[in-house]
Amino acid sequence: MPFNARVIAVQMCSGMQPEHNFKQLEQWLEQSDLREPTLVCLPESWLAFMQDAEQSLQFAEHYQYWLGKLGELCRRFHIWLSAGTIASKDSEGGYYAASFLLNEAGEVVGRYNKIHLFDADVADGSGGYRESRLTIAGNEVVVVDSPFGKIGLSVCYDVRFPGLYQAMRSLGAEILLVPSAFTTVTGATHWLPLLQARAIENQCFVIAPAQYGTHENGRKTYGHSLILSPWGDVLADAKQQLGVISAELDLTQLHRLRTDMPVQVHNRFKSEFYE
């Protein structure tokens, strides 16, 4: 039954020390209005924004410990938590950029491994990005049932590939999560229109918590965490401020829009994910 779902997106400037980043999150939760039920969404690499892939691989060995700590937060604050991305060790010597979804009991109810890896040259002083060097690409589309509606999981660079979001919509997604660490160069031009396109074409709410600022690892990120309506309206924008933004998602409005303009029914293109 559709209802108003409360969501929070956290904008961070994460450093390389997970203990510090975790403490910052805990402080923001203590200061937030966490009426039940609330879905809290964190950005990409929120727990440890490392300088290179080797450091991320070393950190990835400890991801189970941090999942336990996040479970404690969920139980303490009675929240659902989308844990951005946490590097998670793989048996083959690499790691996944894994996005975990935890319920209010602290249980992991969904995991998405980032499918599209950012191998690109961007004129932002970084010298380019080669995410695939030690990161292993995922291969599964993930949509999770929740008290807030059906949640589709994705990460950052995924937003440039609309087929992934169409696949999530075909699996029933009503809310799309896009935790990110967009560069300042690409963010200034592409961030808002890409997210609006994903919201409009799939008639979904989009929650895009982001990194912002100059980081300890030397990276600079764009910020502007966003919560968007299925019509593409900006419901909340963190702009260039650290902290939280929130919105009430009217799922009744979403289903009315889908009834009035049934684009999913009209879509004549199919993919391997469509039944």
Report the SS3 class of residue 92: coil
Instruction: Report pLDDT digits (tens) over 84-114.
Output: 999 999 877 899 999 999 999 999 999 999 9
Instruction: Report pLDDT digits (tens) over 114-169.
Output: 999 998 888 776 767 889 989 999 999 999 999 999 999 999 999 999 999 999 99
Give the per-residue pLDDT at 36: 78
Is residue 272 situated within a structural domain?
A: no
Show the beta-strand stretches assigned E in the chain: 4-11, 38-41, 80-82, 86-89, 95-102, 108-113, 119-120, 129-130, 143-144, 151-153, 175-177, 205-208, 212-214, 220-222, 226-228, 234-237, 243-250
| Nearest of 162, 152, 225 to residue 197 by alpha carbon | 162
pLDDT band at 272 (very low <50, low <70, confident <90, very high): low
Give the per-residue pLDDT at 125: 66
Which residue is catalytic, options 44, 104, 131, 174? 44
Report the SS3 class of residue 192: helix
Q: Specify whether 44 is catalytic.
A: yes
Instruction: Report pLDDT digits (tens) over 10-26.
Output: 999 999 999 999 999 99
Is residue 151 situated within a structural domain?
A: yes
Is residue 114 situated within a structural domain?
A: yes
Is residue 86 situated within a structural domain?
A: yes
> What average pLDDT does range 159-180 have in this prediction?
97
Q: Specify whether 74 is catalytic.
A: no
- The gap from C-alpha 88 to its chain's centroid, in whole angstroms, comes to 16
Instruction: Report pLDDT digits (tens) over 24-79.
Output: 999 999 999 888 789 999 999 999 999 899 999 999 999 999 999 999 999 999 99
Give the per-residue pLDDT at 2: 43
Give the per-residue pLDDT at 90: 87
pTM score, whole prediction: 0.95
Q: How far apart are CA 224 and CA 234, in angstroms?
A: 11
At residue 212's C-alpha, the angle toward residues 13 and 59, to 5°, is 45
Burial environment of residue 18 by CB neighbours within 10 A (0 to 12, 13 to 18, 19 or more): buried
Is residue 177 situated within a structural domain?
A: yes
Which residue is catalytic, options 13, 156, 174, 204? 156
Q: How far apart are CA 10 and CA 25, in angstroms?
A: 8
Is residue 275 situated within a structural domain?
A: no
Average pLDDT, the chain: 94
Is residue 120 situated within a structural domain?
A: yes
Q: How far apart are CA 42 and CA 84, in angstroms?
A: 5
Is residue 271 situated within a structural domain?
A: no
CATH number at residue 58: 3.60.110.10
In this predicted structure, the answer to whether residue 275 has a pLDDT above a threshold of 70 is no
Neighbours of 12 (CB within 10 A): 31
Q: How far apart are CA 171 and CA 173, in angstroms?
A: 6
Contact in structure between 9 and 82 (CB atoms under 8 Å) = no
Residue with tokens 């491994």: 113
**Half-sphere exposure in the Cβ direction for 44 (13 Å, CA):** 30
In this predicted structure, the answer to whether residue 262 has a pLDDT above a threshold of 70 is yes
Q: Specify whether 114 is catalytic.
A: yes
Instruction: Report pLDDT digits (tens) over 183-212.
Output: 999 999 999 999 999 999 999 999 999 999
Instruction: Report pLDDT digits (tens) over 214-248.
Output: 999 999 999 999 999 999 999 999 999 999 999 99
Which residue is catalytic, options 13, 89, 104, 114? 114
Q: Which domain holds residue 180?
A: 4-266
Q: Could you give the number of structural domains in the chain?
A: 1
